[in-house]
Amino acid sequence: MAKFQAPKGVSEYFPDNSRAFEYVRETIIACAKSSGFALMELPIFEDTELFARGVGESTDVVRKEMYTFEDRGGRSITLRPEGTAGVMRSTIEHNLDRGQLPVKVYYSGPFFRAERPQAGRYRQFYQVGIEAIGLSDPLIDVEVIAVAHRAFQELGLKQYRLEITSLGDAITRANYLKELRAFISTLELDEETRARAEINPLRLFDDKRSEIKSALTNAPILMDYLTPESAADFRTVCETLSELGIDYQVNNRMVRGLDYYTGTAFEFVHEGLGAQSGIGGGGRYDGLMEQLGGAKLSGIGFGLGIDRIILACQAEGVGFGSEPELDLFIVPLGTSTQALVLAEQLRARGVRVDLAYGDKSLKGGMKAADKSGARFSIVLGDEEFKNQEVSLKEMATGEVQSVTLSALANRLVELTATFGEHS
Ligand code: HAM
């Protein structure tokens, strides 16, 4: 029988690279939590209309990349292509917007876009995202950006840059879009492109075709139309980023792929990744919540692409943490039953333990202990049980100490608690 294969273009993680995945995800989550963001766990599929309305009919995501199907009740369902619309839906549905503001949440998990697969671009990919909903203060924009920046710093990344822009407020965009539409009307465009530009002229900047790109070289620039209020907010964002020592570049030609952005928008671009260089992006969305039937509240957030961040770490040669994942590996001589009993006793005390099974030779068992990455190992045979004593071996140094079986749990708890201080 032919072997099954994963569907085309999905990313998946298994030992050993699942460790990198977990490390990157947990590092970002820890940064979000340390800034007061709390978990929001959302469904992976939603009503199709939520994305059509939230993300925007003119976007590539909605036009051609959604995994949409009818469920058994005849409802149109879509696998989430991004996280912000779902967060808005849940915030409105559970009245979080009527409580303490801002609502600060983080989420992580798989997202789905039927894109053409290539390195760093997948049909199922993973994000950690955060959203701060309910306040328009530009300082929150900085706080959100700072979470991503801190996560990248903790991961040890260096070769990335933060690009920011402002898409202004409603007046800014009304004035700008009038000029842009006038400019576009002077261009020779095919019907489909013109139709798309009519829904949202900004989408023309998404077009990858070189003739469209060059036709747009002299297009008006949105940042030239910022109202004094929008310009002041953007100045505050830039100045505060500088105050925090976060470098940035203003990119007045940035196009975000989703329609809901207003005000501050940003992208983190990694230099070692080739075409799919965006390791994260986000921005403010003034009208989204109202558009989805909620209060007239603004919000800002980001989505960081875990798959691409792993590639970025690999491109820079930075590791994924050095903490061992196991405290102890037990090598039983003969049957493993007693080793399993001991392992369970130790695990109940919080010691992380794995063991060898089957009739492994001592050599095979020690090889497994080495491969496990555990910090310590013990051999458990008749002798050890008779004496009620084991030799606790520190794998890195080869140092051995005798410990009675009754004292083993306490000894390991002690040793692993102080590990961080020694390493
Ligand atoms: P986005 O820019 O569409 O924003 O995606 C965020 C990040 O997800 C990208 O920078 C990239 O790293 C990763 N990503 C996107 N598509 C793929 C793909 N096909 N394969 C691999 N990685 C990918 C959003 O999704 C917004 N919801 C972010 C946001 C939150 N804005 C405000 N709040």
pTM of the model: 0.94
| Residue having the nearest C-alpha atom to atom 33 of ligand 1 | 301
Is the confidence at residue 68, as pLDDT, over 50? yes
CA–centroid distance, 277 to ligand 1, in Å, is 11
Mean pLDDT estimate for the chain: 94
- Distance (Å, whole) CA 19 – CA 25: 10
CA–centroid distance, 258 to ligand 1, in Å, is 9
CA–centroid distance, 25 to ligand 1, in Å, is 15
Instruction: From the CA of 284, give the closest atom in ligand 1.
Output: 32
Q: What is the mean pLDDT of residues 250-278?
A: 94
- Distance (Å, whole) CA 211 – CA 292: 36
Mutating to test ligand 1, I would choose from 125, 145, 163 the residue with most ligand atoms within 8 A of its C-beta, which is 125
**Residues at CB less than 6 angstroms from ligand 1:** 82-84, 113, 115, 121-122, 125, 127, 129, 131, 257-258, 278-283, 301-303, 305, 307-308
Beta pairing class for 249-250 and 160-166: parallel
Give me the pLDDT at residue 418, please.
67
256, 283 Cβ separation under 8 angstroms = yes
| Residue having the nearest C-alpha atom to atom 3 of ligand 1 | 257
pLDDT in tens, 297-340: 999 999 999 999 999 999 999 999 888 889 999 999 987 899 99
Give me the pLDDT at residue 275, please.
87
CA–centroid distance, 228 to ligand 1, in Å, is 30
| Residue having the nearest C-alpha atom to atom 6 of ligand 1 | 303
* 422 pLDDT tier (thresholds 50, 70, 90): very low
* 421 pLDDT tier (thresholds 50, 70, 90): very low
